[in-house]
Structure 1
Amino acid sequence: MTMGDMIYEELEDLMHFSVHDLPGRGYAVMEEIRRQGKLCDVTLKVGDHKFSAHRIVLAASIPYFHAMFMNDMVECKQDEIVMQGMDPSALEALINFAYNGHVAIDQQNVQSLLIGASFLQLQNVKDACCSFLQERLHPKNCLGVRQFAETMMCTTLYDAANSFVHQHFVEVSLSEEFLGLRAEELLELVGCDELNIKAEEQVFEAVLAWVRHEREEREPRLPELLSKTRLPLCRPQFLADCVQQDELVRCCHKCRDLVDEAKDFHLMPHRRPHLPAYKTRQRCCTSITGLIYAVGGLNSAGDSLNVVEVFDPIGNFWERCQPMSTARSRVGVAVVNGLLYAIGGYDGQSRLSTVEVYNPVTDTWTRVASMNSQRSAMGTVVVDGHIYVCGGYDGKSSLNSVECYSPEANRWTVVTEMSASRSAAGVTVFDGRIFVSGGHDGLQIFNTVEYYNQHTGLWHPVAGMMNKRCRHSAAALGSQLYVAGGYDGSGFLSGAEVYSSVADQWSRLVAMNTRRSRVSLVANCGRLYAVGGYDGQSNLSSVEMYDPETDHWRFMAPMVCHEGGVGIGCIPLQPA
């Protein structure tokens, strides 16, 4: 056998040869041929403008024309096709896009391009236009972008613009677009829970500015608008000096009745239960991202820590910040006016009544008034600018007592006690009320749930959870209340439940990836974060995030300095 025979026998009878850039070069050649006006077999007409092209290129690149030319529509046999309702320059740009895959988007053409791309079913160009608009949202244009997005059924852009309006409400209310809103649009806006405001007075001032812009036509709508404004949340001095004295309010008896209702809220607390719940519910913009602070807790040996670290959910990283003066595990944490309060807890030897407050601007801790009782493993929430601590453990027994702290007065007062002693319960604010779920009294673990109406000082029972649990955590997100993790007396839990106040009913939620007792749950930017805990064998530094849109938990960056048992607080970042 010769060498030539050996080579011939070992080689296959097939070789693949390809030129990878041929399709791209082919489109470039076709574009040049079109520019020369050669081999074109169709003309697209908009008004007096005509554009020649090749059917095969249009069909290959633009879904609208693929459907037209491949399905024997009337137009497939026409040499000239009239394109109704399209902007000529947008059509020309999109024809060019069919040949070269490039389109230049700017402030002048973005809307016409989006309309044209939507008509031609060019989803990628439509998405690019939406991204362009979303990246350039501004208080002066966001209402117009939102309306345009709704018209074009661009859901992602609409949601982004809507969130921007809520986040920047005060600046938006000073814009020409705001003054041009229809009454129905303004009613919907001022009725929204999600407005990012420092005080309800800002909503009142925005409403009056809108009415005064076209007073004769809009003045009859003022009572309806003020009924959506939460006047009881305005300061009494503002109600007396500004609202009551305003000329528009004084000449309308329905408006005066609303002011009287708001004044009665402050002067006669016993009437507060008769007000609709929304009128006294603080607005809270949940779409604003916040920094999550992990406070105190435990190390791997089970020792209490004074360590504090902060999580950036956008960058997905933790970094250490100034430690507390006192080691605290099972500590209560609350955020009021951008300040972080660390309340009570356990220092490794005794339960604490002391409180210290962290200022993230100065990165410093200072002491404030102590609670009336020593307690750890209590629930801590903020309502109407006041901090409430519910239950807990004082070193001897579980507690049913509740205390309320006024930052302005720097004073703790005892309020109505819960119906049962509860240590390690899940506590959160939901529908403007304090909800307390589960916990234990030293003898039994509960599935019961009750809520506190701070206006009446009364506790009310609601439907119990499906599982009894303690050492779990609770958080409210949107129109639902969530509980996750904990311990049921026989095992450590990964399961979660969700409560609907409308149905007064609990249902199961997809479980976390990890069993977590002593977990901390916090809502941030439309998602839930489960931080740390104990899985039955070791303390946890891991963090999971639940997204209601995907109904899925996924792991985030773990804590750097902690091994579970932390208190959690979220300080919102003001939008840029």
Structure 2
Amino acid sequence: MSLNFRNMRHADEMVDVVLVFGETRVKCHRLVLAAACEYFRLMFQTDMQEKAASEIAMKEVSSNTGLQLVEYLYSGNIEISTENAQELLAASDRLLLVDLKKMVGVFLCGQADTNNCVSLLNLARLYRLESLGGISQQFLTDHWKELIETEEIYQLAEDDLHLMVIGGMKSANFYLDLVECLDLETLEWSEFPHLPKALLLPSVVYVQKQLFVVGGEPSSTTTSGDVYEFDSAERAWQPRCPMPQVYKGADAVSVDNKILVLGGVYRVCMQYDPCGDLWIQLQRSQFQHITGRAVVWKDKIVVCGGRDTDSIEEYDPCLDKWSTWNLKMPFEDMCFALIIKGNV
């Protein structure tokens, strides 16, 4: 069907509207535009001025991008490159093309380097692309020494210029409640308000510009299910809804403005919504992944290895479903993972 409509468009058969991109005029079918694009569907079904117009001016969309978008609406295919990605991102956001916006986000996740990671981080925030934001933030954290010498550093927001060290252990029986902050611009340390309790190995997650500390070990024999949020206005840690199940050896990541805790001894999979201060339990992983690392990759969560396992599992938050990769870790007890150039 899409091929027929494409052929009809190229032959100017039954076209009933013209999209104007700068000096370029593209004849189209209202039916196809409405079926493929929520923006046009709403336009043609409501009392917008363009509803009955024979021509629609597509301001802020260049001729080249406009032609690509029309082809995408008719065929579902589009070529994304470093040259057109940013403009496609802006256009897909404006035209409510959710799938295309995700495709561009996935493409940009593979482009992060020291020359653009800050720009990509700012793009991710502007267009609400959490996976891209997480990868850019991780790249920034891993390569901050190199970034100090580049122009990219000056595009950072103030919150990005700080590295937090939370909790820890001074000796076998002496855990810490300290919170210290490194200013990446001045390379000077400062002390934040202490945690409500001393913790070893808590999960630290940054969601919607808010800092959360999840779980951790108050002693060598106990595990905490507590959650704390840092209140920047009050300069204090505030308790939040505790986890429904205490975890040991799991990891936490941020996806779609939620916190997910995965793996560990009890194979947990729990989601926390900061807006509602509410936890829900989800499908458990097949393997424990004790101290295995979780990373967000292509809108999925990949949990890698851990104590006594070389398995890699992938969790789909939209479907609440786990799948196991055929690929294994190089050996058991590998407890790290990161995203580099869009690859785990």
Instruction: State the TM-score, normalizing by the size of structure 2.
Output: 0.62
1:282 to 1:337, Cα distance in 2 relative to 1, 3 A? farther
Distance in 2 (CA, whole Å) between partners of 1:143 and 1:510 is 35
* Equivalences for residues 115-194 of structure 1 within 5 A: 115=32, 129-133=74-78, 139=86, 158-163=97-102
User: 2 CA distance for matches of 1:533 and 1:438?
Assistant: 18
Superposed CA RMSD in Å reads 4.6
| Secondary structure of the corresponding residue to residue 198 of structure 2 | coil
The alpha-carbon distance between structure 1 residues 388 and 414, as it changes in their structure 2 partners (threshold 3 A), is same
2:333 is aligned with 1:555:
no
Query: 1:190-248: CA deviations, max 9, x gaps?
Result: xxxxxx84687x99xxxxxxxxxxxxxxxxxxxxxxxxxxxxxxxxxxxxxxxxxxxxx
CA distance in 1, matches of 2:305, 2:240: 29
Deviation string 1:312-345 (CA, Å, 9 cap, x unpaired) is xxxxxxxxxxxxxxxxxxxxxx84636347xxxx
Counterparts of 1:199 and 1:509, CA distance in 2? 29
Q: How does 1:76-475 map to 2 (within 5 A)?
A: 89=11, 111-112=28-29, 115=32, 129-133=74-78, 139=86, 158-163=97-102, 197=119, 285-288=129-132, 335=138, 337=140, 339-340=142-143, 384-396=160-172, 397-442=174-219, 443-454=221-232, 456-475=234-253
Q: Is 1:500 the counterpart of 2:273 in the alignment?
A: yes
CA gap of 1:451–1:386, structure 2 versus 1, over 3 A, is same
What CA distance in whole angstroms lies between the structure 2 residues aligned with 1:383 and 1:571? 23
Cα–Cα, structure 1 residues 283 and 142, in superposed 2: closer, same or farther, change >3 Å? closer
Sort the Cα spacing of 1:141 and 1:90 in 2 relative to 1 into closer, same or farther, 3 A. Answer: farther
Hey, what's the Cα distance between the residues in 2 that align with 1:555 and 1:160? 25
- Cα offset, 1:394, TM superposition: 2.9
Tell me the secondary structure at the aligned position of residue 101 of structure 2: helix
- Output the CA distance in 2 between the equivalents of 1:289 and 1:451: 20
Residue in 2 that maps onto 1:520: 293
CA–CA distance in structure 2, aligned partners of residues 512 and 89 of structure 1 = 53
What is the match of residue 259 of structure 2?
481
In the TM superposition, what whole-angstrom CA distance separates every residue of 1:342-393 from its partner, at most 9, and x where no partner exists? xxxxxxxxxxxxxxx689xxxxxxxxxxxxxxxxxxxxxx953311121122
Gap runs ≥5 in structure 2: 3-7, 15-23, 37-70, 109-117, 148-157
Relative to 1, partners in 2 of residues 1:469 and 1:282: Cα closer, same or farther, differing over 3 Å?
farther
Cα deviation code 1:541-560 (max 9, x no counterpart): 32222122222122236465
Contact residue 532 and residue 541 of structure 1 kept, 8 A: yes
Measure the CA separation in 1 of the matches of 2:93 and 2:191.
47
Match of 1:566 among 324, 335, 342: 335
Q: Would the alpha carbon gap of residues 141 and 399 (structure 1) be closer, same or farther in structure 2, given more than 3 Å must change?
A: closer
Identity in percent: 17
Does the C-alpha gap of structure 1 residues 456 and 164 become closer, same or farther in structure 2, counting only changes over 3 Å?
Answer: farther
Opposite residue 440 of structure 1, the aligned amino acid is: E
Matched residue SS, 1:564? coil
Shift of 1:567: 3.8
Residues 534-549 of structure 1 correspond to what in structure 2 (within 5 A)? Answer: 534=307, 538=308, 540-549=309-318
- 1:458 and 1:395, CA in 2 relative to 1: closer, same or farther beyond 3 A? same
1:276-301 Cα deviation digits (max 9, x unpaired): xxxxx898743439879xxxxxxxxx
Decide whether the 8 Å contact of 1:163 with 1:287 is kept in 2: no
Provide closer, same or farther for how the CA distance between residues 129 and 516 of structure 1 changes in structure 2, counting only shifts above 3 A. Answer: same
Amino acid at match of 2:132: I
TM-aligned CA deviation for residue 166 of structure 1: 7.2
Report the 3-state secondary structure (helix = DSSP H, G, I; strand = E; otherwise coil) of the residue aligned with 1:384.
helix
- Does the 8 Å contact 1:113/1:129 carry over to 2? no
The answer (yes or no) to whether the contact 1:527–1:545 under 8 Å persists in 2 is: yes
Equivalents in 1 of 2:107, 2:322: separation in Å? 30
* CA deviations over 1:503-552 (Å, ceiling 9, x no partner): 21111011112112212222233222212222xxx2x2322221222221
- Give, in whole Å, the separation in 2 of the partners of 1:145 and 1:449: 37
Q: Please report how far the alpha carbon of residue 436 of structure 1 lies from its aligned counterpart in structure 2 after TM superposition.
A: 1.3
- Code of the residue aligned with 2:261 in structure 1: it is V
Mapped to 1, the partners of 2:107 and 2:311 lie a distance apart of 34
- The change in CA–CA distance for 1:384 and 1:399 in structure 2 (over 3 A counts) is same
Contact 1:449 1:461 in 2 (8 A): yes
Q: How many residues align?
A: 274
Give the AA of the match of 1:162: K
Q: How much does 1:167 deviate?
A: 8.8
Letter in 2 for 1:513: Q
| Unmatched tracts of structure 1, length 5 or more | 1-60, 63-85, 93-106, 120-125, 151-157, 170-195, 204-280, 293-333, 342-356, 360-381, 487-491
- 8 A contact 1:476–1:482 mirrored in 2: yes
Helix, strand or coil at the partner of 2:186: coil
- Whichever residue aligns with residue 89 of structure 1, its letter is A
Please tell me whether Structure 1 or Structure 2 has the larger radius of gyration of its CA atoms.
1
Tell me the residue number matched to 1:35: none
2:266 is equivalent to residue 532 of structure 1: no
Scaled by the length of structure 1, the TM-score of the pair is 0.40
Q: Secondary structure at the match of 1:161?
A: helix
